[in-house]
Amino acid sequence: MSAPEIIIGAGGHGRVLAEVLRLEGRAAAGFIDPRGDPARLPLPLLGGDAALDDWPGNGLVNGIGGPAGSDLRRRVQRRLEASGRCFSGVRHPSAIVAATAQIDPTVQLLARTVVQPGARLEAGVIVNTGAIVEHDCVVGAFSHCAPGSILCGGVTVGEDCHIGAGAVIREGVRLGDRIVVGAGAVVVRDCPDAGAVLLGAPARRREAK
């Protein structure tokens, strides 16, 4: 029997992952988070970063959410991987994943997500509750498709992007790295500009003030 896994981050996303692990039948020892609130957690709070030394052989699950414009999730995972630790993804039992989709082992697929044929999801991607990734899409490393977002066929999303809740990306659109798409936005044209913020329907780039 494998050692129980440890969730890095005890916020809302971490608690959601604890429930997915339970539904998958995977054992979890608890959370690592220096600012975690034990009263809100379904599993023990094991401590801060130093507590990982007490669990040297345990696999990790990245419970840090993907807030817009933040690369904390990437930085923490890459730092721990560089020290020899291994991360695993999750797949909610209600997720629908095509046999020909390419899913990195660290991807997180939450409840009622859909990933269609030919799609490719790279390391650390979150496909959040009810989000849809249509055929032949590519979602770059550590990007987050927030609840209810839709990537239509053939969309390419760069790394460290945030596709807001309920946003729709039209078929074939290509987005660069670190792009933030606001909640409910409808993106109908390419945006290669790293770090751009796209808002509205149809989406337009927010200009710096």
Judge contact between 73 and 19, C-beta under 8 A: no
Domain boundary among 35, 69, 88: 88
The span from the CA of 100 to the CA of 120, in Å, is 9
Q: Write out pLDDT tens, residues 115-141.
A: 999 999 999 999 999 999 999 999 999
Same structural domain, 72 and 102: no
Same structural domain, 195 and 93: yes
Q: Is residue 206 part of a domain?
A: no
Mean pLDDT split into 10-residue runs, the chain, 209 residues: 89 97 96 92 94 90 87 95 96 99 99 99 98 99 98 98 98 98 98 95 80
The span from the CA of 37 to the CA of 102, in Å, is 36
Q: What angle do CA 72, 74, 78 make, to 5 degrees?
A: 120
The pLDDT mean for the chain works out to: 95
Same structural domain, 194 and 100: yes
**Total domain count for the chain?**
2
Domain boundary among 88, 107, 140: 88
Same structural domain, 108 and 174: yes
CATH number for the domain including 117?
2.160.10.10
Q: Which tokens in the block code for residue 63? A: 């419970």
| Confidence (pLDDT) at 77 | 97
Same structural domain, 82 and 96: no
Same structural domain, 195 and 182: yes
The arrangement of strands across the sheet holding 28-32 comes to 45-47, 28-32, 5-8, 60-62
Same structural domain, 129 and 80: no
CATH number for the domain including 47?
3.40.50.20
Q: Is residue 65 part of a domain?
A: yes
35-51 as b/e, with b when 16 or more CB fall inside 10 Å?
ebeeeebebebbbeeeb
- What global pTM score does this model have? 0.95
Judge contact between 18 and 26, C-beta under 8 A: no
Q: Is residue 123 part of a domain?
A: yes
Domain that holds residue 190: 89-199
- Comparing CA positions, the residue from 193, 188, 191 lying closest to residue 201 is 188
Dihedral through CA 134, CA 135, CA 139, CA 144, nearest 10?
20
Q: Which residue bears the tokens 């339970």?
A: 22
| Confidence (pLDDT) at 11 | 95
| Confidence (pLDDT) at 1 | 55
